[in-house]
A = this chain, B = another copy of it.
Amino acid sequence: MRASEIRELLKLLDRPGMVSFAGGIPDPSLFEVDAFRNVYGDVLTRSESALQYSTTEGFPPLRRWIAQYMSDRGVPCGEENVLVTHGSQQALDLIGKLFVDPGSSVIMTAPTYLGALQSFTAFEPEFDSVRFSDGLALTNATNARLLYLVPDFANPTGQTLSKQDRVAALELARRAGAILVEDAAYTDLRYEGDAEPRIAALDVAQSGSIEASRTLYCGTFSKTLSPGLRVGWVCGPASLIRRLTLIKQASDLHTSTINQQVIFRIASGYFDQAVARARDTYVQRRDVMLSTLAKYAPQGVRWTTPSGGLFVWLTLPQQLESGALLEKAVARNLAFVPGNAFFADGSGSDHLRLSFSLLDEKTIASGVADLCGLLDDELRRAA
């Protein structure tokens, strides 16, 4: 099943009655809407600059807030180490523009985040894969521009790299002469257990300072405060941040001034509260998804147990193909993303990704039960 066909099917998601586990998007009922309304009003009352052009680097108080956030998480740094981006997707684009040329090598996990694949593909690299399933099985790549990882509750698998794997990834990046891109899109959404150290923190600890490190950390407010404002960041050595800033200037001048001023105020006042609310809500939805799978999934179906994030990753018995399954699921008003969307080489049709972030617990329970019923029917038919 090709990406364009998958997109066509997923367009049906808005159909009334459709139960979609496809989108990896936050529940808008968790957004601090009243706070946003007040802060937009207040910023437009007090700030003369909110509607005007601003500098490419980003709103200085927001850069300082982010530098403090990073420092609190083991990455001591200053505002010169932070570039505010138009969502973390733009950070990937800028990094691709700076480091990737046609034919150069980019190392990613297989599977990986679809948007990162798309972003880097624009610069025509060769992709090398590292497997994620049993720790990080390292390649022998000796020369690469980028090593891209989503170390926490990865999209699509929900899996998290151990500290040992993070150290190994850094060592691989060093050996390959690559920049390590740490995509921390879901890192704040941990539901249990202790946080693993940021790869950027391990790198700084080993290197002695952020300026000597090789990790570019991509963060975002999209999963915690709101994706609609498009505010993210990249944090790394000041020399690289300056080069990325010049590239951003040529790409879009700067991120929306008013949105940066608003996100700064919301982050300052509500970040911990918003993260706590999101965790409380999502962990219950995850639990319902996992317990329903445990109850109804037919023999031979396996799945991951994410300790955070938005996704559960299913592995199907070999008789089933997730693209064909999606067509049948849509006929039953169910949707998910077939696994091959997340592999550079188009493999992975024995997998599918379920997101538990957007639906209430009751709908998750009945939808997952229905999906298990479909799997059961299809396995019987194939037998």
Contacts and interface: CB of A to CB of B under 8 A. Distances in A.
Contacts of A118: 249-250
Contact of A228 (B36, B50, B226): B50
A64 interface: no
A256 interface: yes
Contact of A93 (B229, B251, B259): B251
Interface in A248-277: 249-259
Contacts of A28: 48-49, 51-52
A61 interface: no
Nearest to A261: B228
A31 interface: yes
Contact of A44 (B26, B33, B53): B33
Given A28-B48, A51-B31, A229 B258 contact: yes
B25 A53 contact: yes
A357 to B, nearest CB: 12
A317 to B, nearest CB: 33
A61 to B, nearest CB: 16
A53 B355 CA distance: 15
Given A45-B37, A256-B256, A52 B227 contact: yes
Contacts of A258: 228-229, 259
Nearest to A90: B252
Copies of this chain: 2
A155 B249 CA distance: 17
Contact of A121 (B33, B119, B229, B250): B250
A70 to B, nearest CB: 22
A247 interface: yes
A214 interface: no
A254 B226 contact: no
Nearest to A249: B118
Interface string A224-258: 00111110000000000000000101111111111
B41 A93 contact: no
Nearest to A227: B53
Contacts of A284: none
Interface string A81-92: 000001101100
B51 A227 contact: yes
A53 B122 contact: no
A40 interface: yes
A154 B303 CA distance: 59
A64 B258 CA distance: 25
A218 to B, nearest CB: 13
Interface string A29-66: 00101001100110011001111111000000000000
Contact of A90 (B54, B87, B97, B251): B251
Nearest to A225: B51
Nearest to A24: B53
B37 A44 contact: yes
Contacts of A44: 33, 36-37, 40
A115 interface: yes
A124 B165 CA distance: 38
Interface of A: 23, 25-26, 28, 31, 33, 36-37, 40-41, 44-45, 48-54, 86-87, 89-90, 93, 97, 115, 118-119, 121-122, 222, 226-230, 247, 249-259
Ordered nearest first, which 4 A-B pairs have the shortest CB separation? A228-B257, A118-B250, A51-B226, A40-B40
